[in-house]
Structure 1
Amino acid sequence: MKNFSYVRAMSVKEAVQQASIPQSMFIAGGTNLVDRMKVFLDEPSQLIDITRLDMTRIEQTKDGLRLGALVSNTAVADHPEVRRSYPMLARAILLGASQQIRNVATTGGNLLQRTRCPYYYDTAFDCNKREPGSGCAALTGINRIHALFGASDQCVAVHPSDMCVPLAALDAIVEVEGPKGKRQIPFTDFHRLPGNTPQRDTNLEPGELITALILPPAPFAKTSVYLKLRDRASYAFALVSVAAAVELADNRIKTARLAMGGMAHKPWRFTEAETFLIGKAANTETFQQAAEIALKGAKPLEYNGFKVELAKRAIRHALTVSAKGGGIA
């Protein structure tokens, strides 16, 4: 690990000011950053400890439920209002990591996880995300866990977070503060597709710090479902995951949300399938049609074609469970 300096920020303003030093990085729980530093993927000149900042509260506001960026994943998943009004978020967090990791991982940090693509972590292989312009070994390698949507010839990696998938479905808002002041970013605009700059995962500007997440009121979310399919039942990243919710009126779908993980460089929202569902009967045929619409633009690689059918079945099952009142899928 490369030598670096360390500073503990006592305010958001101080943290942002310290971030003006080139190659500085913020650290809170460090559950992903420290791993990357150990294998020389990140070599910061300075770590800015933000754990003393006043961003540890969950509070109801006029805009919805506000989660401070330093609230632990455990605290979010255990919060009564999250469990009652946004159950797919609680479920995603519980399926996303071990208890020990959830205890230290933070709300803001979860958004900044980097891909678990093995070619990114193994410096023996080319990776445009790690070294822009070097190539993408996953394009012609063993790519069974890689993207079906939104990829480019520069990168086919997928975003690893479980928590971020329901946040996309819930139209969450990311609050940030940086050298130019405060701003809010719609969650679906927060992460980037690889394009020609796969080294950039988010639309954060240099020096910006995530301060909170806002969950807007979402009556439809009370019957929401999070379904995660993976190679083993113990702690593992999703091959595909689904955050789904339908709100019914007289057995007709009034509102629908559908987002997936394991599909793309960012949590993938299926807005066309959501629109199709509105006004339809909540039955197996409708949900199968929605799944077909969702996956029609998939572009499988050599080894991940199985994910297309897996995703369709996952969508159909998650929507069915939500229509029956939600619960554990």
Structure 2
Amino acid sequence: MDNIVFTEFSHSWTAESPLLQEFIKICNSSDKYVCITTFTLDGMSYPPATEELVKNGIPVVPSHLNPIRGLSKLVEYGQYYRENQKNNDTTNVESDKKYDVESLLTSGATLSEAQASEVLKRYQIPTTTRMIAKTAEEAVEYANNIGYPVVLKVDSPDIPHKTEADAIRLNLTNDVEVKQAFHQIIANASHYKQNASINGVSVQEMLADGVEIIIGAHNDAVFGPVVMVGLGGIFVEIYKDISFRVAPILRKDALEMIDELKGKDILKGARGKAALDVDAIVDVLLKVSALVTDYKGSIEELDINPLIVYENGVKAADAMLVVKNKTDLIATIRG
């Protein structure tokens, strides 16, 4: 037996009831999936202890929502997932290896681009070469180290949308332009948000033109980590061409997600253009899936936007990561 379904539950137990706490303790120490389903009688659809049960990862589903059918779909998906694993339909990421990024995930923080990119790098996701400059002189030094042309951006957890703050400059080709851009970015960012925490200015390599996509994830209250891919990069909200899957995903899932995009032909080489590196997109999707699954108790939201796709390879041009507030965490559904 893999699942336990309670079709009745005490309406006399409250969150403070010792019997309820003992029940939760038993459920959390079991390797069984426990679900409570209740009859939809007036005033009795949800037991008073529902909130406490859900906080501790025990679903409470009224019978009018057909919990048995929902559970059967969950079992079917579990069988599908295990079968594909047996067929070696897996990522080229070491599935049993969890990379250490815990020290980077500050509770309740929105990480700056540089901080978020460091998390991606540890999961072997390609990112741009960057250095954080505190002064205009440092910016010039770093630009020469990286090689012109370069991009300058404000690095601040409080300014995730740098274009809106006019705190980004592209295709800078010499020392004078870098110095001017540094001062403009600091001034514009400070004006845009006076109390913003500014780490400095990120000096980055200027990436060649490619196709922009977005890859992201968020921690859904019901399903847990959910992975997303979409066409359009910074224009994804305009195109609304996106696909989702519950993590962890397999290579087959990643390919299906890409195939569901209305603009998928762009990636295949439409109108005489060369085909782009779909395998590299799949690789990033699988690595993001591994990251948010490994740290589902810490990562609330992740955006790689845009991810630039080329004939050979991809690179993350920007990233944003929101960390859960550990003091407000509720138990996630056991995997």
TM norm structure 2:
0.28
Instruction: Work out which of the two has the higher radius of gyration on C-alpha atoms and give 1 or 2.
Output: 2
